């Protein structure tokens, strides 16, 4: 505002302080979104804690039939989980531990949760990123081919194939791929990831092929269908018609007009699918025995390992919230209209 005050009166009213107020508007927008993200994560933590620690009796679940027979073990577990304190106190202690990087000890292995999760998080992140990098060009490519064939047989065939793939649950796709490529029809690829304690799955890249292919086939149809819909909308619009009338070749129309306009909806749906992937990897990792957080989560749930489940589900929820935030930011930065709407 101080800069504006020095300007002569008429100019100040004609030209609002764009840069300055634009900056504040951005900061405000970002602060609001960050605040909402933190609020969301906090509510998620309450939900996770209530679901795992208050809904049932974890000690009863851990011990199963031994619950009635071993009162000493019951007392010891209650002590370790701190179940004798009131719920609120337990929650605050857990939240404090989470914020200071100490989410407690695993019940199954008695090792700190942070140690157990370290490598599996990296493995899952690599799996999801590789799947995304393979998926994006394929999804856009299929969408462009399909849009090129619009209102013709090729398009409807591609659409039915995509719709069929989109209907299949990820573990069904995975098992069909295993049958096709590693056990029944061909014997090309290993069906499970066998990794040592220290090594990473990508030390033997062939073990990554099936998990990545499963994730790509699960996610690509959704992205492809959204991108195609956007492409069709643009290809039927007036300014594209004008470009064609000017004699711009169809391939250039597709590249310069249609594809650029499909990027923003593309980012939105890719972000949604990336966030979905962090949950979707659960079944795929379990199926292929891939040493990531998904397989670890299933093991922990089966062992009723409450501290592990709490930490892993918080990680997955956090990824979801962050990915959505980044996607919103990117789509605003890439849409000139939205960009100016915020800073003016």
Partner 1 sequence: MSASTVAPATRSSRRGAGLRRASRIPRLVGGAVITALVVLLAVLGPLLAPHGQNEVVGVPFGTADGLLGNDYLGQDVLSRLLNGGRAILLISLLGTALGMVLGVLVGVVAAYSGGWLDEVIMRLNDVTLAFPQILLALVVLTAVDQPRAWLIVVLVGVSHAPRVARLARGVALGIVSRDFVVAAEALGEKRSRVILAEVLPNMNAPLLAEAGLRLTYSIGLVAALGFLGFSTDPNAANWGQMIQENRLAMASQPWAVLAPVLVIGLFTVGTNLMADGIAQLADRGDR
Which positions lie near partner 1, rule CB under 8 A? 36, 39-41, 43-44, 47-48, 51-53, 55-58, 60-61, 64, 160, 163-164, 166-169, 171-172, 175-176, 178-179, 183-184, 191, 275-276, 278-280, 282-283, 286, 297-298, 300-302, 304-306, 309, 313, 316-317, 320-321
Question: Minimum distance from CB of 98 to partner 1 (Å)?
Answer: 15
Those residues whose C-beta lies under 8 Å from the C-beta of residue 321, and which sit 6 or more positions away, are 37, 40, 41, 44
Residue placing its CB nearer to partner 1 in the complex, 116 or 316: 316
Question: Minimum distance from CB of 195 to partner 1 (Å)?
Answer: 19
CB 141 within 8 A of CB 216: no
Q: Tokens 């800069």 sit at which residue?
A: 3
Question: Minimum distance from CB of 225 to partner 1 (Å)?
Answer: 10
Those residues whose C-beta lies under 8 Å from the C-beta of residue 317, and which sit 6 or more positions away, are 41, 44, 48
Taking 3-state DSSP, the helix, strand and coil percentages for the chain, each rounded to the nearest 5, stand at 80, 0, 20
Q: What do you get for the CA distance between the two ends of the chain, in Å? A: 15
Whether the CA torsion 108, 111, 112, 115 is positive or negative: it is negative
Question: Minimum distance from CB of 248 to partner 1 (Å)?
Answer: 30
Residue placing its CB nearer to partner 1 in the complex, 149 or 171: 171
Residue placing its CB nearer to partner 1 in the complex, 22 or 97: 97
Question: Minimum distance from CB of 292 to partner 1 (Å)?
Answer: 14
Of 236, 242, 235, 238, nearest in space to 257 by CA = 235
- DSSP labels, 66-107: HHHH-HHHHHHHHHHHTTTS-HHHHHHHHHHHHHTT---B-T
Question: Minimum distance from CB of 319 to partner 1 (Å)?
Answer: 9
Residue placing its CB nearer to partner 1 in the complex, 259 or 293: 293
- What Å distances lie between residue 278 and 65, 185, 285, 291, CA to CA? 34, 30, 11, 14
Whether the CA torsion 169, 172, 178, 180 is positive or negative: it is negative
Those residues whose C-beta lies under 8 Å from the C-beta of residue 245, and which sit 6 or more positions away, are none
Residue placing its CB nearer to partner 1 in the complex, 286 or 290: 286
Residue placing its CB nearer to partner 1 in the complex, 269 or 305: 305
Phi/psi of residue 335, nearest 5 degrees: -105, 105
**CA 42, CA 36: separation in Å to the nearest integer?**
10
Residue placing its CB nearer to partner 1 in the complex, 259 or 308: 308
Going through the chain in order, the beta strands assigned E by DSSP cover none
Residue placing its CB nearer to partner 1 in the complex, 225 or 257: 225
Question: Minimum distance from CB of 83 to partner 1 (Å)?
Answer: 12
Question: Minimum distance from CB of 283 to partner 1 (Å)?
Answer: 6
Residue placing its CB nearer to partner 1 in the complex, 201 or 221: 221
Question: Minimum distance from CB of 20 to partner 1 (Å)?
Answer: 30
β-partners of residue 112 are 105
């Amino acid at each position: 505002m101080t800069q504006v005050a020095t300007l002569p009166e008429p100019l100040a009213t004609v030209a609002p302080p764009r840069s300055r107020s634009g900056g504040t508007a951005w900061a405000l927008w970002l602060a609001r979104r960050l605040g909402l993200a933190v609020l969301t994560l906090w509510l998620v933590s309450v939900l996770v804690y209530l679901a795992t620690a208050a809904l049932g009796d974890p000690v009863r679940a851990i011990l199963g039939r031994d619950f009635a027979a071993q009162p000493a073990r019951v007392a010891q577990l209650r002590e370790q989980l701190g179940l004798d304190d009131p719920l609120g106190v337990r929650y605050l202690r857990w939240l404090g531990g989470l914020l200071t990087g100490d989410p407690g000890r695993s019940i199954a292995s008695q090792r700190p949760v942070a140690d157990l999760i370290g490598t599996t998080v990296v493995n899952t992140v690599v799996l999801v990123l590789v799947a995304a990098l393979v998926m994006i060009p394929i999804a856009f490519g299929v969408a462009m081919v399909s849009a090129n064939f619009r209102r013709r047989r090729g398009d409807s065939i591609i659409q039915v194939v995509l719709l069929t793939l989109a209907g299949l649950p990820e573990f069904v796709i995975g098992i069909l791929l295993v049958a096709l490529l590693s056990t029944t029809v061909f014997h090309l690829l290993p069906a499970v990831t066998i990794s040592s304690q220290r090594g990473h799955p990508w030390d033997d890249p062939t073990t990554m092929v099936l998990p990545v292919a499963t994730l790509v086939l699960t996610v690509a149809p959704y992205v492809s269908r959204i991108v195609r819909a956007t492409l069709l909308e643009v290809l039927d619009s007036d300014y594209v018609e004008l470009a064609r009338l000017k004699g711009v070749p169809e391939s250039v129309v597709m590249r310069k007009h249609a594809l650029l306009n499909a990027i923003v909806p593309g980012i939105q749906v890719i972000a949604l699918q990336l966030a979905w992937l962090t949950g979707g990897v659960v079944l795929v990792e379990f199926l292929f025995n891939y040493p990531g957080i998904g397989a670890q989560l299933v093991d922990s749930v089966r062992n009723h390992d409450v501290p592990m489940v709490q930490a892993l589900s918080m990680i997955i929820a956090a990824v979801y919230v962050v990915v959505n935030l980044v996607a919103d930011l990117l789509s605003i930065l890439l849409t000139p209209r939205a960009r100016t709407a915020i800073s003016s």
